[in-house]
Amino acid sequence: MSTPKTVDQTSLHAFVDGELDETARAEVEAWLAGHPEDAARVGAYRGQNAGLHGLFDAVLDEPVPERLRHAAIARPARAPWPAWARIAAAVVLLFAGGLSGWGLRDFQAGNDGVAKSFVEHAVGAHLVYASEVRHPVEVAADEEAHLVAWLSKRLGQPLRAPSLLAAGYRLVGGRLLPEDGRPAAQLMYENTAGNRLTVYVRAGRKGSDTAFRFVSEHGVSAFYWIDLPFSCALVGPVPREDLLPIARAVYEQLDKEPW
Amino acid sequence: MSPSDPRPDMAAQIPHLRRYARALRRDPEAADDLVQDCLERALSRLHLFRPDSNLKTWLFTILHNLHVNDARRRGRRPDDIPMSESIEARAATHGGPGETLKIRDLGRALDQLAEDQREVLLLVGLEGLSYKAAAEVLGVPVGTVMSRLSRGRDRLRGLMEGGDTPALRRVK
C-alpha cells in the first residue's frame, strides 16, 4: 500500500458531496484514516447535511397546497395563449425534421405574403452587406451604445443587440435600411473563421404574426418570425441545425423579459 | 400539450422547491408564495426551457432569481422571522432531547451565515445539487460555489462548536 497523497480542503468537501471519482475517493479515504482532524471535519460536514435534512425534510411529506399544484399546470391568467407558444411549437416541428427544402415559394395565404416579403428583404440585405469587406456596417460595435440607441429611435422600439458570443459570433456593428418606406435594422456578427450572420429587425405589425419559419436560398439559411415588438430574421451561410440554436438565442434576447 | 411538455415533471419538483424555499424564507406562507411565483414564471417562460437541459436546475434558477429580487427589494434579509422560532417547533418532532438541541443550534448557526453561503449550503447539502448545477442556479463560477461552501461549512462548524468562528477566536 502506498502512502496516501496529500489531500486538500477542497477535496474533503468534494468527498462529502460525492463529487469525486472512485480513485480520488479512495485517496481521500486513505488520507482520512491517518488524519483524525480531517476525519473530524468530514464528520462535521456530514453532520451538517444530516442536520439540514432533519430541519427541512418534513416539508417533503406535507401535502402540496392546491394553489401550487394549480400553478404548475395552468397557464397564468394574465398570459393568454401567446405568439411564443406557436413559435415554440413550430420549433419543435422543425427539430423533428421533415420540413427540409421548405422554400420561399411555398407560402400561400394570409400572413405569408408579409412574411415572404420580410424574409426576402432580410436575405437580400444579407447578400449585399455580409460580403462587403470595407464597409460591412454603418456603425461599428465599438460604438454599440450609440448604435443601439440610434436604431431603437428609428425603429420606434427599444432594441438591444443580442449577444451571440455563446455561439462564437461577436457583434461587428449595424446599419439602418429601408423596407417599403419603413425603417429596418441589420446587425452583423462574425466568428473567428470570418463567417457572418445578420440579424434583420423591424418593428412588428399587429395581427400579422407568424410562427418560427425557415428558408434556405441563395446559399444562405434564415430563421424568421413576424411578431411584436419585433419581426426578425437571422440569416447566414450556416446549416439549419446550427442556425436554430442561434435563432432561439436571438428570439429570447429580443423578447421583452430576459430570463 | 406537446410530447415534450415538462409540466408533469414540474409538478414532481414542487416538494423540493418548497423545501428549499422554506429553508430560505422560514415563513411557510412566504415560502409557498415564492414557489408559486416560480411556477408561474416557469410556465410563462416554458418556451425558453431546452429539452436537453435539467428541469430541476432551471426551476431552482428561477426560484433563486425571484428570491434575490425580492430580498433586494426588502433589504438584505429575506424575512425577519428568526430562524430559531420556526426551527424549535419543527425540531421538537424529530429525535430525542439531545437531537433537538443540536438541530436547534444548527438552525441558529445557519441564521448567522451570509446569504450567499447559506444558499450554497442548502443547494448542495440539502437539495443535493452538484457543484456545477449549483453554479448554474446561482449564476457564478464553480470555483465560487466551492469557496462559499467551504467558508460556510467552516463558519457553521465554528458557530456550533464554540459559538464563534475559530478565526475570530484566534484574533483575541
- Work out the pLDDT band at B15, boundaries 50, 70, 90: very high
Q: What sections of A102-219 are H helices per DSSP?
A: 112-129, 144-155
Nearest CA in chain A to B124: A17
CA-CA distance, A254 to A225, in Å (whole number)?
A: 12
Nearest CA in chain A to B47: A88
| β pairing state of A170-179 and A139-140 | antiparallel
Probe site for chain B from A37, A42, A55, A225 (most B CB atoms < 10 A): A55
pLDDT at residue A122, rounded to an integer = 94
Across the range B5-24, mean pLDDT stands at 87
Among residues B35, B1, B53, the alpha carbon closest in space to that of A75 is found at B1
Cβ neighbours, 10 Å, residue B147: 16
pLDDT at residue A4, rounded to an integer = 58
Which has more pLDDT, B109 or B85? B109
pLDDT at residue A29, rounded to an integer = 94
Question: A67-73 contacts: CB < 8 A, separation 24 or more?
Answer: A67/B32, A67/B36, A68/B14, A68/B18, A68/B32, A68/B35, A68/B36, A68/B39, A69/B11, A69/B14, A71/B35, A71/B36, A71/B39, A71/B40, A71/B43, A72/B7, A72/B10, A72/B11, A72/B14, A72/B39, A72/B43, A73/B7, A73/B11
Across the range A124-135, mean pLDDT stands at 87
| Structural fold of domain B1-79 | Rna Polymerase Sigma Factor; Chain: A (1.10.1740)
Within an 8 Å CB–CB cutoff, is residue A252 touching chain B? Answer: yes
- Nearest CB neighbour to B153, from listed A48, A57, A73: A48
Q: Which of A31-45, A118-132, B96-110 has the lowest mean pLDDT?
A: B96-110
pLDDT at A75 over 60: no
pLDDT at residue A189, rounded to an integer = 96
Average pLDDT along chain B: 78
Contacts of B64 in chain A (CB under 8 A): none
Give all domains of chain A, ordered by start, each with its CATH number.
9-59 (no CATH), 83-254 (3.30.200.100)
pLDDT at A86 over 60: no
Cα separation of the two ends of chain B:
64
User: Residue with C-alpha cell 419603413?
Assistant: A182
| Grid cell at residue A172 | 461587428
Cβ neighbours, 10 Å, residue B163: 12
CA-CA distance, A209 to A212, in Å (whole number)?
A: 10
Which has more pLDDT, A229 or A200? A200
| Grid cell at residue A147 | 448604435
User: Residue with C-alpha cell 476525519?
Assistant: A39
- Nearest CB neighbour to A84, from listed B18, B47, B95: B47
- Nearest CB neighbour to A76, from listed B11, B43, B110: B43
Task: Count A/B contacts: CB-CB distance under 8 Å.
Answer: 122
Within an 8 Å CB–CB cutoff, is residue A71 touching chain B? Answer: yes
pLDDT at B106 over 80: yes
Within an 8 Å CB–CB cutoff, is residue A133 touching chain B? Answer: no
pLDDT in tens, A160-173: 899 999 999 999 99
Among residues A174, A102, A97, A186, the alpha carbon closest in space to that of A142 is found at A174
pLDDT in tens, B114-157: 999 999 999 999 999 999 999 999 999 999 999 999 999 999 98
pLDDT at residue B121, rounded to an integer = 96
B19/A68 touch (CB, cutoff 8 Å), yes or no: no
Across the range B33-38, mean pLDDT stands at 93
Could you give the angle at the alpha carbon of A83 between the alpha carbons of A106 and A186, nearest 5°? 70
Q: Give the closest-approach CA distance of B115 to chain A in angstroms.
A: 16
pLDDT at B163 over 70: no
pLDDT at B170 over 70: no
Among residues B30, B35, B39, B33, the alpha carbon closest in space to that of B18 is found at B35
pLDDT at B14 over 90: yes
Contacts of B129 in chain A (CB under 8 A): none
Peptide bond into A178 cis (omega under 30): no
| Structural fold of domain B115-172 | Arc Repressor Mutant, subunit A (1.10.10)
Structural contact between residues A20 and A11, judged by C-beta atoms closer than 8 angstroms = yes
Q: Give the closest-approach CA distance of B80 to chain A in angstroms.
A: 19
- The percentage of residues in chain B with a pLDDT greater than 70, rounded to a whole number, is 72
Asked if the ipTM is above 0.95, the reply is: no
pLDDT at residue B44, rounded to an integer = 80
- Strands (DSSP E) contained in chain A are 139-140, 170-179, 182-190, 196-203, 213-217, 220-225, 230-236
Q: Which of A60-64, A188-192, A255-259 has the lowest mean pLDDT?
A: A255-259
pLDDT at residue A88, rounded to an integer = 60
Within an 8 Å CB–CB cutoff, is residue A93 touching chain B? Answer: no
Domain ranges within chain B, ordered by starting residue:
1-79, 82-112, 115-172
Which has more pLDDT, A112 or B33? B33
pLDDT at residue A199, rounded to an integer = 96
Across the range A135-152, mean pLDDT stands at 90
Average pLDDT along chain A: 81
Q: Which of A153-157, B19-23, B99-103, B168-172 has the lowest mean pLDDT?
A: B168-172
pLDDT in tens, A238-253: 888 889 889 988 988 8
Sign of the four-CA dihedral B22, B50, B146, B99: positive
Q: Name residues 34-53 of chain A within 8 A of B (Cβ).
A: 41, 44-45, 48-49, 51-53
Could you give the angle at the alpha carbon of A232 between the alpha carbons of A226 and A233, nearest 5°? 110
- Work out the pLDDT band at A214, boundaries 50, 70, 90: confident
pLDDT at A146 over 80: yes
